[in-house]
Structure 1
């Protein structure tokens, strides 16, 4: 059903309604899990409609019509498909519209879209449209009243320096071109939104407005999303959240209370169509809707039974036969890359405190170089890491990082953690032998959860870790290393090339817990894992970061040639010692095998690259 018709339907017209936005996950298992989540969210809180975002003329855009089709046919949900002008010719737009129409989708959110990956300025593709209003006119011309068209609204402007009056004129132009409803950008200032709605109505715009609501789950994601979107944060939000910013449980609880007050302000001012940016998650959305008193008792009973079942049964089985443990784990690979770690995982549901998840999560996103690449300028890169001209010099640079003489590396946003002191001497030796480490952790065996360096989680618990190391290595050293690992036994390894050739002794897509904790009156918690899918995703980023480092140097320089050679020929490796009781023995393996200097002294010393 068209949204415009549904708004007039007796079952929806006089109700406070809500709708959900989802995005296409990166992995096939994530997609299956998203379907399960959509189904659950429908059962506990039936939305007026759901909308599905559109990748920028590629990336995940091919999945959008597929998800729309499943939502329409399998879950009997009315859907709204995003469609952007970015990288889209008229022919591509028509193909997308035809696919949506054939699935029964009768609602399109017409957007100009953001710039493509790696580009800062938006440019019109040849044969495409320049403005969202052009796309609205095209849909209206070719589909008439068969498709209900929505457009974006910006209560605080498209950007911080945007002219609000001009923004309102553009909104009216889109509505006059044929739009039937407005979905707004996220915002947190409810009073400002109410005033903006008055201005919209004064402009003669009468179509329904769906306010974009972003739940608050963690401090980092809250601040980051507000910054990226350029939205204002009311002072009372900061006063409430800042004192507990390091406790994500408290942030989510207080954030939910803030969003409930926020929604009530909207409802009291006659704005009753709530649109939630779910980030493919359900907990925070459910908390808001339920605490607003909008779920009837029958729905609450079904929800509570479902949640109790999920709590006692840690595994769900999906229609395709795959199994998924609850999303309470995180891949270790981004641990020291905080920008990409947070942006990939900040909204995943469970432990620790709503930040992390694994690649099977429906919230597992794509690698975006514009968000996950190096943040430093060329000058800052040269100042931070100098101009190493040999693998020997690279090894010394990495060793300096392990000794805290360097505060960062391209693969590490932050200084090495204090827990690395347990293995510091071994790491220094490993790097000086040109096994260039970018991530590691020592073995732990029953350390108190209150330990100031190694502890985490609830009090009166005990934490454990398997020793883990990730590094770049010249391919000539792989076979002897593998042989030593086989002799050692109980180890798991992944070796991969830049073009994706994977050599592993681990089962594919089977997570290996490398950190876990035991706490009173709790199930065993295993928050950190190693598994193949997320490692393959991290591989792209790891090699990209190395090439970004190289790009800061003159193409004819020895440093540029060194880094390009390394990123094109060296392998990225991960090793886990599953026998954590033998302590740090894993790190001693590297001193017992040949180094690059032993096999290729000319490479090690930079004579030939």
Structure 2
């Protein structure tokens, strides 16, 4: 009894907060915002459905796929409810990750199956805390061990009951969707009764409808008319199932009771043993169905991806709904926003995490407030620890070695960076995503710089008033103009630094920061205040400055940047030249960022490096006693350490005396020299 009173009080308290008013906060609702925008603009929109995988590797693979499919421009994604236990918890986790780290507006499925009120309350609290504002309320399928669906004790009998409870408990915080059945459902094929139930769900508070999959478009259009005739005026979203293989097509149709048009059966039957041909013909058939749906006045398509990308992408490309010069992908800001709770208004970030968005979100997730309008004092909120999940290198040691090879010289590493710039590889330790088209204008300069041993890990060209609708540089509201200062971040060998700093000091338009792993900072910046390197001017708005360079955050990024390099080194065996080479760079080189403050000069930074080339670029890295070439301290003493080791070999014990040789350097550090 006491628990029920406490829960009612908590829900009432939340309802009274302005955050639950649709006018109070910048958030997106499927019915109010996304679908209405598609109808106003005349440009059809789309969304994707995913389900929780059963393995940890499957989850990571799906996150990677969701990240890539974000680039197709979905209005939202939804994540199915994994009824009971671990999968239910995983649904909530995936919603949180999609919202906060990937910036994907998410709709969470919630079912009545095996769900008492306490579990429903917990799921809704998790959705709220994740920043999720859309719920698809379903009765759900019966558990696998049961043939017939039964209500859980203390739970809900019908989807309409769940809708009513969510609306009663959370007011208008959630946009609530329900299922529609153009071709009946597994335990009910009475069309009139199903339409009555649909009307009841809408009357209980549902604000949009998502249909089960279908392929009979004529039947769907006819059903749509019947829905409207019942007085149901909320948006109806058709569920589209792309075709991957003939076997999966038949299996899903049989499972869902889908009608297959004779034309489809004939076309797919003829090529059923050729998966590529099935996908290609299926793409044409599904795309033609989608065109008919759009012509009937429906402005949004919801794709059941089955956690796969190819078939869905093929249909979208056939419909010309993927990003292009004619349909540019709109960005509210030059970086991907987090949609986690409290972060929707965030509009200022340091540029250093430009290529590691998820890491920045993870390291700042515990902040009480996020910069809005101005950066403020970054010495107040602390950046999170580097050991948190999602901050280190992705992939196993073997995967990373396969991706980045086993460099033996600085030139090998430089060519790896060049390969990234030329799109030969899709990532580097400091860049999680492929090189973007923004770099095209300076790509040749970046390639030349890397080939001379200056390892660039972040950059942006100067932009002098590009339209906010520009497909490459644009962001923000329509009819605005965006600007950028040229920015370059790179790893610089210690013997190159004096001349580079001398040249920088001769140009008053340049500001720089240089720091080593140990934290010694050099700079010509006046004070610790932020330097805006990206800004936008929009009608009726104050100037927006979403990207900055700033001292304290650079030092926080420094720790992460050198940690990533060290993690890369540790992918290789302890005695390997590759590990020694990368560790040498991390231990002795500088992390440098340079800003050209005259945004009219698009190539103002690169002349700084004219005539400069890192010494011994092509020489294989060797651990020498002199320490001169690598920049390590001079050797003052060499000593041996004897390690007694025992190894089992062919069922016999053998004992070895292993002699490891170390160099003692003038700074007291020890470096492995050999066996």
Scaled by the length of structure 2, the TM-score of the pair is 0.46
Q: Report which structure shows greater RCO (CA 8 Å, sep ≥6).
A: 1
- Structure 2 distance, partners of 1:357, 1:383, is 43
- Structure 2 distance, partners of 1:275, 1:160, is 25
Secondary structure at the counterpart of residue 548 of structure 1 = helix
Report whether the alignment pairs 1:595 with 2:522: no
- The aligned counterpart of 2:448 is 429
- The aligned counterpart of 2:392 is 373
Q: 1:17 aligned to 12, 18, 22, which one?
A: 12
Matches within 5 A, 1:3-42: 16-18=11-13
Q: 1:469 aligned to 485, 488, 498, which one?
A: 488
- The aligned counterpart of 2:86 is 159
Q: Structure 1: any 5+ residue segments left out of the alignment?
A: 21-40, 46-153, 164-185, 201-207, 224-231, 237-260, 277-290, 292-325
Output the aligned Cα RMSD. 4.7
Of stretches 453-462 and 359-368 in structure 1, the one that deviates more from structure 2 is 359-368
Deviation at 1:367, TM superposition (A): 3.3
Report whether the alignment pairs 1:453 with 2:472: yes
- Sort the Cα spacing of 1:160 and 1:581 in 2 relative to 1 into closer, same or farther, 3 A: same
- Structure 1 distance, partners of 2:371, 2:433, is 22
Answer yes or no: is the 8 Å Cα contact 1:444–1:583 preserved in 2.
yes
Q: 2:125 aligned to 182, 189, 212, which one?
A: 212
- The aligned counterpart of 2:564 is 545
Report whether the alignment pairs 1:533 with 2:552: yes
Report whether the alignment pairs 1:493 with 2:512: yes
Secondary structure at the counterpart of residue 596 of structure 1 = coil
- The aligned counterpart of 1:196 is 116
Deviation at 1:557, TM superposition (A): 1.1
Matches within 5 A, 1:353-432: 359=378, 365-432=384-451
Answer yes or no: is the 8 Å Cα contact 1:419–1:441 preserved in 2.
yes
Q: Structure 2: any 5+ residue segments left out of the alignment?
A: 21-80, 91-105, 139-160, 175-204, 206-344, 624-629, 631-675
- Sort the Cα spacing of 1:562 and 1:519 in 2 relative to 1 into closer, same or farther, 3 A: same
Deviation at 1:210, TM superposition (A): 10
- Structure 2 distance, partners of 1:272, 1:19, is 8
- Sort the Cα spacing of 1:510 and 1:187 in 2 relative to 1 into closer, same or farther, 3 A: same
Q: 1:557 aligned to 548, 554, 576, which one?
A: 576
Deviation at 1:433, TM superposition (A): 1.5
Report whether the alignment pairs 1:523 with 2:542: yes
Larger radius of gyration: 2
Answer yes or no: is the 8 Å Cα contact 2:110–2:136 preserved in 1.
no
Answer yes or no: is the 8 Å Cα contact 1:155–1:196 preserved in 2.
no
- Sort the Cα spacing of 1:518 and 1:17 in 2 relative to 1 into closer, same or farther, 3 A: same
- Structure 2 distance, partners of 1:528, 1:584, is 20
Deviation at 1:530, TM superposition (A): 0.9
Secondary structure at the counterpart of residue 463 of structure 1 = strand
- Structure 2 distance, partners of 1:581, 1:162, is 52
Q: 1:606 aligned to 586, 609, 621, which one?
A: 621
- Sort the Cα spacing of 1:596 and 1:462 in 2 relative to 1 into closer, same or farther, 3 A: same
Deviation at 1:498, TM superposition (A): 1.1
- Structure 2 distance, partners of 1:462, 1:357, is 24
- The aligned counterpart of 2:165 is 265
Q: What are the superposed Cα offsets for residues 463-489 of structure 1, whole Å, 9 maximum, x if unpaired? A: 110000111112221121111011122
Secondary structure at the counterpart of residue 545 of structure 1 = helix
- Structure 1 distance, partners of 2:349, 2:451, is 30
Q: What are the superposed Cα offsets for residues 105-147 of structure 1, whole Å, 9 maximum, x if unpaired? A: xxxxxxxxxxxxxxxxxxxxxxxxxxxxxxxxxxxxxxxxxxx
- Sort the Cα spacing of 1:449 and 1:358 in 2 relative to 1 into closer, same or farther, 3 A: farther
Answer yes or no: is the 8 Å Cα contact 1:495–1:572 preserved in 2.
yes
- The aligned counterpart of 1:101 is none
Answer yes or no: is the 8 Å Cα contact 1:18–1:275 preserved in 2.
no
- Structure 1 distance, partners of 2:442, 2:12, is 56
Deviation at 1:560, TM superposition (A): 0.8
- Sort the Cα spacing of 1:161 and 1:215 in 2 relative to 1 into closer, same or farther, 3 A: closer
Answer yes or no: is the 8 Å Cα contact 1:266–1:272 preserved in 2.
yes
- Structure 2 distance, partners of 1:381, 1:476, is 29
Secondary structure at the counterpart of residue 372 of structure 1 = coil
Q: 2:601 aligned to 555, 561, 582, which one?
A: 582
- The aligned counterpart of 2:653 is none
- Structure 1 distance, partners of 2:390, 2:544, is 30
- Sort the Cα spacing of 1:435 and 1:209 in 2 relative to 1 into closer, same or farther, 3 A: closer
Deviation at 1:574, TM superposition (A): 0.9
Report whether the alignment pairs 1:441 with 2:456: no
- Sort the Cα spacing of 1:44 and 1:457 in 2 relative to 1 into closer, same or farther, 3 A: closer
Answer yes or no: is the 8 Å Cα contact 1:331–1:528 preserved in 2.
yes
- Sort the Cα spacing of 1:263 and 1:438 in 2 relative to 1 into closer, same or farther, 3 A: farther
- Structure 1 distance, partners of 2:358, 2:463, is 27
Deviation at 1:602, TM superposition (A): 7.3
- Sort the Cα spacing of 1:410 and 1:263 in 2 relative to 1 into closer, same or farther, 3 A: farther
Answer yes or no: is the 8 Å Cα contact 1:331–1:357 preserved in 2.
no
Answer yes or no: is the 8 Å Cα contact 1:188–1:262 preserved in 2.
no
- Structure 2 distance, partners of 1:403, 1:541, is 25
- Structure 1 distance, partners of 2:429, 2:119, is 47
Deviation at 1:543, TM superposition (A): 1.2
- The aligned counterpart of 1:328 is 347
Greater share of helix residues, 1 or 2? 1
Answer yes or no: is the 8 Å Cα contact 1:19–1:274 preserved in 2.
no
Q: What are the superposed Cα offsets for residues 250-275 of structure 1, whole Å, 9 maximum, x if unpaired? A: xxxxxxxxxxx98963464xx68999
Deviation at 1:368, TM superposition (A): 3.5
Secondary structure at the counterpart of residue 423 of structure 2 = coil
- Structure 2 distance, partners of 1:434, 1:373, is 25
- Structure 2 distance, partners of 1:472, 1:19, is 49
- Sort the Cα spacing of 1:42 and 1:392 in 2 relative to 1 into closer, same or farther, 3 A: same
Answer yes or no: is the 8 Å Cα contact 1:328–1:357 preserved in 2.
no
- The aligned counterpart of 2:658 is none
Secondary structure at the counterpart of residue 479 of structure 1 = helix
- Structure 1 distance, partners of 2:18, 2:416, is 55
- Sort the Cα spacing of 1:591 and 1:216 in 2 relative to 1 into closer, same or farther, 3 A: farther
- Sort the Cα spacing of 1:209 and 1:476 in 2 relative to 1 into closer, same or farther, 3 A: closer
- Structure 1 distance, partners of 2:170, 2:443, is 58
Answer yes or no: is the 8 Å Cα contact 2:406–2:578 preserved in 1.
yes
